[in-house]
Chain A
Amino acid sequence: MKHIATMAAVGAAVCAVSLATALPASAAGTPSVDGHSTLAQIQAAATTATSDRIASLKTAIGKVDANRSLTAGDRSTILARLNADLTAMSSLASKIAADTTVSTALSDYHDIFTGYRVYAVALPQAFDAAAADRLTGTAIPALQSAHDKLARELAAHPTKWTDTLKAQLADMQAKISDASTHANGLAARALAVTPAQYNADKTVMTGIRADLKTSVGDTKAAAADGHALVEALK
């Protein structure tokens, strides 16, 4: 029995707005399909593949609807894409079930993957865009506000600030600036990727994910600087 693993958000404060989605645990249970498969085998495999993707897409759509960190434009783009993929999966499932030849069924079966790349592109780009929007819309502005207040504290009470604390404040700003550099435009880059681009270059999302990782690392480091400064100034 194929189990669909529900992806749980990491961290203590799991929020309903995170884009957790139902994902198949692995492809181990998926029947292998090749040129030697019978029509029935192809149709069975197609049923599994489309069902998995439909379930994952529905879960993701629900989370996108609830996500308040996404910009209105990005939410609209993501929902349009996910809903289009959902319709396509349902259509393909019906079509393949009605196919009468192996060659047609096999072609339609491959289209499930190469035509839509639900797991390789559609879902990751939605989650990456949500992450990027949250960085630029919430995390970075909050950190900048904290930094600016600390800077005013320094200006008002300079004798309370050691050279070490001043250096930590400078590091906080450097991390915020770097986070911003890596996060700006990231949602747009993620949402611009198409299945065709992925088919041509399977590393097309790699740079986007790396920039996201760098930005998140920076925001966490900046927050740690801020917390340390607050403690030192109490």
Chain B
Amino acid sequence: MMRAYRALRRRAVHPKGGSRDRDWVDPAIALGLVVGYVALLLSTVHDLGYARDEGFYFQAARSYEGWFELLFTHPDQAFTRAAVDRYWSANHEHPALMKALFALSHRFLHEKWRLFAEAGTSYRFPGMLISALGVGVTYLWARRLASRLAALVGGVSLAMMPQVFHHAHLACFDMPVAAMWLITSYAYHRALETGGVRWPLASGVLYGLLLDTKHNAWLFPPVLVAHLFLTRSRPLFTGTLRGRIAVPSALLSVAIVGPLVFYACWPWIWYDTGRRIAEWIAFHTGHEYYNMEFLGRTYWKPPMPLGYAWVMTLATVPLTTLALSAIGFGHDLVGAVRARELRTRSAPVFWTVSIFVSYAPWLSTKTPIFGGTKHWLTAYPFLCLFAAVGFERVACAVREELQRRFGHQPLRTALVEIAAALCVVVAPVAIALGAHPWGLAAYTPLVGGASGAATLGLNRTFWGYTTGAVQDFLNQRAPPRAAVYVHDTAMQSWEMMQADGRLRSDLRGTMNIHDSDFALYHHEPHMGRVEYQIWVAYGTSTPAHIGTYDGVPVVWVYERPRPR
């Protein structure tokens, strides 16, 4: 046990790469985290229904799969404009990487090799894997500044952030873009540390893939530029005066290689490139506002509440994680600012800028809030990196105190440190696992949990994934060929649940209440009008079944009374 403790407590790797440790240990731990997290996600996916947007991405992935089929059989035809337009026009308001991975995963892991029994899970697998890679890289990056135990705290804190845990299951882009942002940042920072060719090249390639994941990537270059000025302003200034601008090769790689990779990996923009990229940008900068409840009020147009991002972060991120992050931030960054040593604190500066840039859009009252916390998921890995550093400070204080009181007693110190680590991760684990599969209804004790959040008027769900929580009721109760009004579940998501055998195949999903026998209702305040339509059409306001999380109704089902 002492050997394991010493291995965990090994001091941080020297920033320049020198280490007394065997090189394989930390990668092995990171790999273990990745594999373990994927296993956890897979084991908890079966009662999580398919979100609305997942249905759209399933449909797009099926289309892209057709293109891959053409590529494998008739590659010369695959690159024609007609083929590209035919297969890649689906959902072209979002770039292609994740949907292409969904398609390939479905084709090989479900259709061909039957590794996944459920098609839906095969679509979800790439998102899970990339999310898990994010957890592993959090560990690796934290390890460069902290002990293994502290790095583990950082990785587990990210993995078990309740909303991260939820989004990591989905065939969507929100957790993947957060993971890719982190991974790209790590590669970029390694490039700054080591120079050479490998890491700068990787930075550019990864940035291209980040751009191909989701449009949050537009905010990434400002992070690099800001970091450069904060940590290298003097050499940049003096170099400029001497006629030499020392721009890091990694930054050049991001600027040059990144867009090339982005272009190569998104067939839709191979043709009519300028117009299609402009269309993509215009879609997201002019996105329609959807409804979102916040503190008992539904917002559907600006001005949006300035406190939204901060309050929702406090309400959904475990307080222990935030406290550790604050300690890490205070120790590393504030200390460096005071000592005017930002250059020597390059990584924490990078993390800080990433967090700030991720949240910055919500300094404007015009920024939409309809996506809830997923809007700034890109900040969370960096919060957890600070949490790792924060725990390292806690562990140091523990060692000093125990040394002072009891002298050199490594076993006692080991136990106390491990106990402290368990204390700081156990609440996130309990909240995340306890909230599954309710996901977005997970709120921390700071706001009184789910019931406190409901009383405060905070959003409980959107995207219709909670149909998974009432699937058993429908399967058991509905007569043959019953029509079910699907409400906020996309029809494509409903059909996937049937294809996977989660819902009976004879049940008929419908978008019409008046023709239905059962009606789902996914609650948000503005959706109330749908419920009232059900009341009048069915002649009853008594739900037949309610899915609750910690006693709070989230989704319910009405059954049309049948004539006696």
Co-assembled chains A and B: no
A interface residues, Cβ below 8 angstroms from B: none
Give residues in B with beta carbon < 8 Å to A. Answer: none
